[in-house]
Structure 1
Amino acid sequence: MLQQMKSMARPYGALFALALSVAVVARIGLAVMDVSGTLAYDYISASGVPILDVICSILTGSAFVAFLFAAALTLSVSTAGVALYGFLCWRGDAGAAQPGTAFLWGWATALVSIVCLLVVASGILSAVQVASMSSKLPGMALIVLGVIVFAAFIGTLLGAASMVVCACIKRARVRGRGLGRTLVVAALGCGLVVMVLTVGTFASINTANIQMGVVGAWFAADIVVNVALMLGAAVIAKKA
């Protein structure tokens, strides 16, 4: 048993290192948000509080926990999509390690994860809570547009992550070792870039008065950078 555990230690060590890398990058982002005032600590009764605080104020404890599950499901589907694409790349499937397929499957994964979120969320809120939340949200057309833009943002992000994983796999295969180390370095490097964009995007949304031009500019920057990461990873994978 001990020998078997030792043989599995390196893959699990790489997994734990990846998780800690993401946690460190996220903690840095939260520190930046705290210093910049993006994180809100106001009471709901205070005036001029960020819109997300107002919306979330209608949630009960059980609804909040249910939303945590819905968010976890969404993140799990997204992460599994990237891992699956990496596995297909490692297996050498036709079409893997191509930016086109990475983008399309990333977008498909994003749409499915959002659908899963909506399915779970539809059973969380009561009619009274939905009515209360609707009164604080913009019109339906703007909400639909926001979902489409958000799906494009997440889709390109997942596509970029998939291509980065493929590039790491191909480089490790050429070297014959070091996949875990390569993934950790990629997670830190790309994660810092994504963290900066995420902080800016969240700050543009979590305000008392949302300026759609600013929000749109941040989402556009997110998508452009995601596509750039995806194409850059594709070049690295091709050269490996």
Structure 2
Amino acid sequence: MDEMQQALFDAPPPPKLPVYVPEEFPFFHGAQSMSETGFIASDWVSTLSTVDKNLRELAIELAARSTQGEVILPEPKVMFRALTLPLAKVKVLIIGQDPYPTPGHANGLAFAANKNVRPLPRSLNNIYTELHTDLGITPAPHPDLSAWQDQGVLLLNQVLTVAAGHAAAHQKIGWSPVLEAILTAINDRATPPVSILWGNHAQKHSALLSNTPQIRTAHPSPLSASRGFFGSKPFSETNRLLSLQGQEPINWSLPLS
């Protein structure tokens, strides 16, 4: 056996990629089951029950793609993480596009990533830069935004899944009715939250959020941040609008460790 053959023999096997069946996606079983198993807050059930058929079809489609070798992100158990925040407690809505397509990054919250991800996603880095300019808050060294969610910030992507390495790959597979149901429920609240709509993709949903105070600026991505995102002061403006509603402002600072 020559050295090349020995090297091939000693090489570790490639990592085993997850292959899903429809039942492994919590939403395959419907909104009521998602609530009972802790994947969404209970007051989202009436909203998502109206799209149970769509959710089931999405689970079947994602499973088929997985069987064909597509790596689906994020993992199923966190796809609806944003809706673990109860509808009744939503004070601010921030709409993203779709999850990060890099394995290990997406965690179910728009613009956020798993805490150990480095370097920071570029859009989030720009968000932190504007946060510092706006409120003087020291940027966190990590991309974990769960402290915002804990205070009532709904970090919602328009599309809740993506193919690894292919941004926007799932924009046309059937998530639109689910998003529309969620936004309609938010808009119909007695005290609608403040909506932060960064970029054209988010702003195309402004009509569904007609009852909410809206902040509309350029997207924080490196391609557009300098064309109206930087200097827009969305965080202080959000807190001003919350105060006008008689609500407590958001503490936008994040743990530094």
Q: What is the TM-score when the length of structure 1 is the normalising length?
A: 0.25
Structure with the larger strand share: 2
Structure with the larger helix share: 1
Q: What is the TM-score when the length of structure 2 is the normalising length?
A: 0.24
